[in-house]
Amino acid sequence: MAIARAREIAQNPCALRSLLTLLSLVLGLLAFGGLAHSASQTLDVAQVRPGMKGYGLTVFRGTQPERFDVEVIDVLHNFRPDQDLILIRTEHPILEKALTVGGMSGSPVYLEGKLVGAYAYGWLFGKEPIAGVTPIANMLAEMRRPIDPELWRALGTQPRALAGLGPRQHPKSTQRARARRPSSRRVAGLDDDLGLERRGALQPLRSYARARAPRALGDAAGARLFEASTPLMLGGFDDRTTELLAQELSPFGLLPLQAGGGARKPAQGKGKARQAPRFVDGGAIGVSLLRGDINATAIGTVTHVAGQRLVAFGHPMMNAGQPALPTSTARVLHVLASERRSFKIAEPDEPLGTLIHDRQPAIVVDTSFEADTLPLTLRIHGVPGAPRTRWDVRVASQRMLTPMLTFSALVNALSVTAAERNDVVFEAHSKVELEGHGSIEVDDVGYSQGGVANPMALSQLRLFDVMGAAYGNPFEDVRVLGVEIDLTVRFGREVVTLVDAMVASKEVDPGSDVNVYLTLRRYGEPERMRIVRVPIPESAAGEKIELVFQPGPAVKLELPTPDDFVQVLDNVRTGYDARTLVVSTKLPSRGLRLRGHVVRDLPGSALDTLQLANESSPPAPFVTHTRRAIAMDEVLVGSARVKLEVRQEPLR
């Protein structure tokens, strides 16, 4: 009977959502009960006085928290909105050298035997072991926040309860209904990029970074309190990719460090039962962005555990709201003292829980949820003798981070496997598994100078457009379920440059064919001529037109404004590859990009009428082109243009 009832609930989306909401409320009540008990064991910031002494807990090596002594300097009021900051001096042999330590963020601080807050802030280039403590009341308030599964879906992730009650997929009937429903909602920065413009792998993260306040630079940096930087431990990354990650993630307070960070293998002890992983106050915690053949884990410290929830860090990781990232226990290897920023060298241990809130005073982790991750498989072909040609990684599933993490894993794998700095032609066959839409396959051909691990070339692979369309489309919530990339490389300059284009006469007849003489040059070879016949439309009589010769990827196509997500995908997959010469005849007439289709070569009166038909969502006009695609044997680079005058009538 119970099994039948469970199946009935699983097949009913409304009942399933209600059950998940009820479960969330129950867990919240349990956590609240734990908080009520712990509230009596905390000290309010109003009771803190200069000179008070106490201690803190953190892990300096291994997994066991150790004590360090603290003395209160004073309280800095309104340090953040509705948040004070307790200034403390720390005493410990390690902290006398390391001063403030990245990775200690979240270390609980106790005064009069009661929890007062979390070690969280420090000064760059400081000469004293002085830190700022986030009051525990602000952190516990974040622990009480409810979770919203609908928001998780909108962010492209969907954690599940460890008991298996969390939904893993949307009902397909709901997806079809959403796909059919026209949307008038415009999303800033997204509507114009739904397969119409190349967004690249890093655009979602950079868009979010621009919205954050800039960090202090130069001389002002030493006079400002900084979050005790969160070390992002990298395992299996080379120098080039580490620098790339530092550039992209440093605006969020993450400090990528090439200091290990790979998950260690579980011990194979005989006769001993393996203990279940758990978090403890003062213990190390990791937020896993990548796990597998390469690893990227943000390291911090647990402040307080209450039931199935805990607070940590004492400051935000990325201030991303409700990101649903996977977390783990962690092990500290060493505290590295540095005049600029000291930090813990650590590595993830056992996966456990989900980061459910990333807020100003703290991060909140719930151990009853298992965060969603997606499998990424990279296979590299054409590099004989390479020690590794396949990479398997689990990537955190989150709208802003997943494309960038996938991109960094690809760049890193190629840097390690095919490190040659020679020119290279590459072919990429990518599969992106999308919830409710199956496997989307795209092919790319590219050329890169100085090696295949060229971030500029790789970021333009269309698999990132597919991922961006899934996460950013305004029609339906779509999760990326997995990514596979097969990339074949051929070292050498198998590329031809389009140098020039000429015609015998600039005046041509309407309805005729004109011979265009293209000058092509391949590396190490003499220039050669190729004749291309281009038809001149009769409708261009009496007009001036332009012929544009370009490689396929450089052609900006006139695509319809998407009416649903399926059309978004069609737009992304529409285009020419790099081994195609495209001849575009630029006409004086105009066309309109409408919802669901494109109308070309319209007279002025019709253009004005259609533009006025819908003022709330006006059609987008464009210059009309006719195109002809010519297959090439090599990758084409360069471009050329020819301007022609079309006679009113053909010469007799």
Would you list the DSSP string of 577-609?
Answer: -TTEEEEEEEEEEEEEEEBTEEEEEE-HHHHHH
Token duo for residue 91: 């005493």
Continuous H helices in 234-379: 239-249
Any long-range contacts for 158-163 (C-beta under 8 Å, 24+ apart)? 158/324, 158/372, 158/397, 158/479, 159/324, 159/354, 159/356, 159/369, 159/370, 159/371, 159/372, 160/369, 160/370, 160/372, 161/20, 161/23, 161/368, 161/369, 161/370, 162/367, 162/368, 162/369, 162/370, 163/368
Q: What is the pLDDT of residue 108?
A: 98
| DSSP string covering 196-265 | SS---SSHHHHHHHHHSPPPP-GGGGGGSEEE--EEEEEES--HHHHHHHHHHHGGGTEEEE-S--PPPP
User: CATH top-level class for 45-143?
Assistant: mainly beta
Token duo for residue 351: 């996966």
Q: What is the pLDDT of residue 181?
A: 34
3-state secondary structure of 91: strand
C-alpha span between 552 and 556 (Å, rounded): 9
Cα distances from 433 to residues 159, 375, 398, 425, 471, in angstroms, run 18, 10, 15, 26, 13
For 43-68, letters b (16+ CB in 10 Å) and e give bebeebeeebebbbbbbbeeeebeeb
Q: What is the pLDDT of residue 241?
A: 86
C-alpha span between 54 and 71 (Å, rounded): 6
Token duo for residue 83: 């948040």
Token duo for residue 127: 């000469």
Q: Where are the domains of the chain?
A: 45-143, 150-164+185-210+226-263+280-372, 374-491, 495-646
Q: What is the pLDDT of residue 168?
A: 42
C-alpha span between 464 and 430 (Å, rounded): 10
Cα distances from 51 to residues 72, 123, 193, 575, in angstroms, run 5, 21, 58, 69
What radius of gyration do the chain's Cα atoms show? 30
Q: How many CA atoms lie within 13 A of 417 on its CB side?
A: 22
pTM of the full structure: 0.77
| DSSP string covering 53-72 | EEEEEE-SSBTS-EEEEEEE
Q: What is the pLDDT of residue 201?
A: 59
C-alpha span between 404 and 564 (Å, rounded): 25
- Classify residue 454 as exposed, middle or buried by CB count within 10 Å of its CB (0-12, 13-18, 19+): middle
Token duo for residue 39: 């509230």
Task: State the sign of the Cα–Cα–Cα–Cα dihedral 267, 270, 274, 280.
Answer: negative
Query: Max alpha carbon distance in the chain (Å)?
Result: 105
Pairing label, strands 544-551, 580-594? antiparallel
Element (H, E) at 18: helix 13-39
Q: What is the DSSP letter of 29?
A: H
β-sheet bridge partners, residue 288: 297
Q: How far from each other are the two terminal CA atoms of the chain, in whole angstroms?
A: 91
Phi, psi of 68 (to 5 degrees): -135, 145
Residue with tokens 């919802």: 595
Task: State the sign of the Cα–Cα–Cα–Cα dihedral 442, 445, 451, 455.
Answer: negative
Element (H, E) at 40: none
Reported in sequence order, the residue ranges of 92-199 that DSSP labels E, i.e. its strands, are 101-102, 108-111, 114-123, 130-135, 160-161
C-alpha span between 281 and 279 (Å, rounded): 7
C-alpha span between 375 and 28 (Å, rounded): 31
Closest CA to 580 of 548, 556, 551: 551
C-alpha span between 82 and 73 (Å, rounded): 20
Q: What is the DSSP letter of 465?
A: H
Residue with tokens 């655009």: 203
CB 196 within 8 Å of CB 465:
no
CB 547 within 8 Å of CB 630:
no
CB 50 within 8 Å of CB 87:
no
- Classify residue 419 as exposed, middle or buried by CB count within 10 Å of its CB (0-12, 13-18, 19+): middle
C-alpha span between 400 and 403 (Å, rounded): 7
**Splitting the chain (652 residues) into consecutive groups of 10 residues, what average pLDDT does each group show?**
48 50 48 46 95 97 96 94 94 90 94 96 80 96 89 72 46 36 32 44 51 41 57 87 84 76 56 78 96 93 96 92 93 87 89 94 94 94 88 91 91 83 86 94 85 78 91 87 94 88 93 94 90 90 90 84 88 88 79 49 47 50 73 90 90 70
Phi, psi of 24 (to 5 degrees): -60, -40
Cα distances from 318 to residues 105, 227, 229, in angstroms, run 14, 11, 11
Residue with tokens 């007062």: 116
Closest CA to 394 of 469, 460, 325: 325
CB 455 within 8 Å of CB 164:
no
| DSSP string covering 382-418 | S-TT-S--EEEEEEE--TTHHHHHHHHHHHHHHHHH-
Phi, psi of 222 (to 5 degrees): -70, -15
